Structure 1
Amino acid sequence: MNITDQQIKTLAQRSKQQCELCRSEDKLSAYLVSPKEGNEISDYVYACEQCQLQINNPETLDVNHWHGLNESIWSEVSAVKVLSWRVLNHLQRNHGPQDLLDMIYFTDEELSWAKDGFSTGDSTAEEDEEKHRDSNGDVLSDGDDVFLIKDLKVKGAGFTAKQGTKVKGISLVPNNPAQIEGRVESQRIVILTEFVKKQ
């Protein structure tokens, strides 16, 4: 569905004639936030040409352009929050602002929308980055046995887990591919995946 002139006027009023992502007032137009079909005005963000170009070509994202995200993540407009989340995820892959990502509050529907339309342009690479991997890059799974590749001082437990120690039946820490859990000397501990090798 093509957006109408009246809908564009509504967007302009909603945004106070500013880009809803960076607050620029130059070259503004309606941007459909995929995978929505544009049936509702709420499917669109009123965005400047520069924001749209960078969103459509994530490899060109310029971190200096996106200082307005610390405001747009709090928008009452779902489409604005969704686009902000996607941009932050792309920036975070290049050591960007994880703290802002952690602050975004989403309903289940908004989060689903954000993820459904999010792509790095390389789905295989994206999937790989989400997986837990050992020090050699091998994929780890729940229940795997691993070996420690260095001595690890276990804070609060009063012992050091020695290099070569076998950790049986690990558990993957959800939403954190850098951590696993396992039992060492009867203690359940969190271990960084970079310090283990899959058996």
Structure 2
Amino acid sequence: MEQQLLDRSENKCELCQSAVPVKLYEVLPQTSRTEDNCIMICDKCLGQVEKTEELDVKHLNCLRTSIWSAVPGVQVLTWRLLNRLKDESWATDCLDMMYMDDETLAWAKAGAEDEDSAVDDVHKDCNGALLEAGNSVVLIKTLDVKGSSLSAKLGTVVKNIRLVEDNTDQIEGKIEGQTIVILTKYVRKQS
């Protein structure tokens, strides 16, 4: 089946049409593996689909073309990604133009419900930039530390942050030798 899909896709990603190496991807949920519910996809698009990378609006402009695909699996992934980009006017326009039969739309929605129930474990700063353990951040507001007389001033650089695992709105960092919890909405990633 993989060879048939490579022939169908002309060895390109079926979402963005890039000629980088592609791999077989099964669009879930499904009962059996068929050509209709599997696609060839590049690593960049796969990261967007599986939420292992931050949504790249510039890259996902490719969805303007993939909405016209006749392959149900491509239609489903395109619909799901466009729904995650609803804040972008062009994505809403694409959703309005997109045609899917009732069965394919139900499949797309079923997978989207699964995506909604999955927690997006990504820490982001006040500008939406992805935060990772070890990053340095700058405070964008003076913060009074609860239970302490410490006041963390606007512009303070906090180096080597740690991510709070069960809460994507919080990070930990040291200020004046004291480890504190800081809300991500009050920090900007230092470049």
Matched, 1:111 2:105: yes
Q: CA deviation at 1:117?
A: 0.4
User: Among residues 64, 75, 98, which one is paired with 1:70 in the alignment?
Assistant: 64
Please identify, of 47-56 and 88-97, the stretch whose mean Cα deviation from structure 2 is larger: 88-97
CA distance in 2, matches of 1:79, 1:124: 21
SS at match of 2:61: coil
Q: CA deviation at 1:45?
A: 1.2
Q: 1:92 to 1:77 in 2, by over 3 A?
A: same
Match of 1:24 in 2: 18
Question: 1:3-152 counterparts in 2 under 5 A?
Answer: 7-57=1-51, 60-93=54-87, 97-119=91-113, 121-123=115-117
CA distance in 2, matches of 1:24, 1:86: 20
Q: CA deviation at 1:96?
A: 5.7
Q: CA deviation at 1:92?
A: 1.2
CA distance in 1, matches of 2:105, 2:3: 28
Q: TM-score, normalised by structure 2?
A: 0.57
Equivalent AA in structure 2 for residue 34 of structure 1: L
CA distance in 2, matches of 1:72, 1:122: 22
Equivalent AA in structure 2 for residue 101 of structure 1: L
CA distance in 2, matches of 1:12, 1:59: 25
Contact 2:12 2:21 in 1 (8 A): no
**Runs of 5+ in structure 2 lacking a partner?**
120-191
Over aligned residues, Cα RMSD in angstroms?
2.3
Contact 1:88 1:96 in 2 (8 A): no
**Runs of 5+ in structure 1 lacking a partner?**
1-6, 126-199
Task: State the identity as a percent.
Answer: 39
How big is each residue's C-alpha offset from its partner over 1:1-49, in whole Å with a ceiling of 9 and x where there is no partner? xxxxxx1110000011110100111120011111014421211011101
CA distance in 2, matches of 1:124, 1:19: 25
SS at match of 2:41: strand
Match of 1:3 in 2: none
Number of equivalenced pairs: 119
Q: TM-score, normalised by structure 1?
A: 0.55
CA distance in 1, matches of 2:115, 2:102: 24
Q: 1:124 to 1:37 in 2, by over 3 A?
A: closer
Runs of 4+ in structure 1 deviating by more than 2 angstroms, as ranges, are: 93-96, 119-125
CA distance in 2, matches of 1:40, 1:48: 19
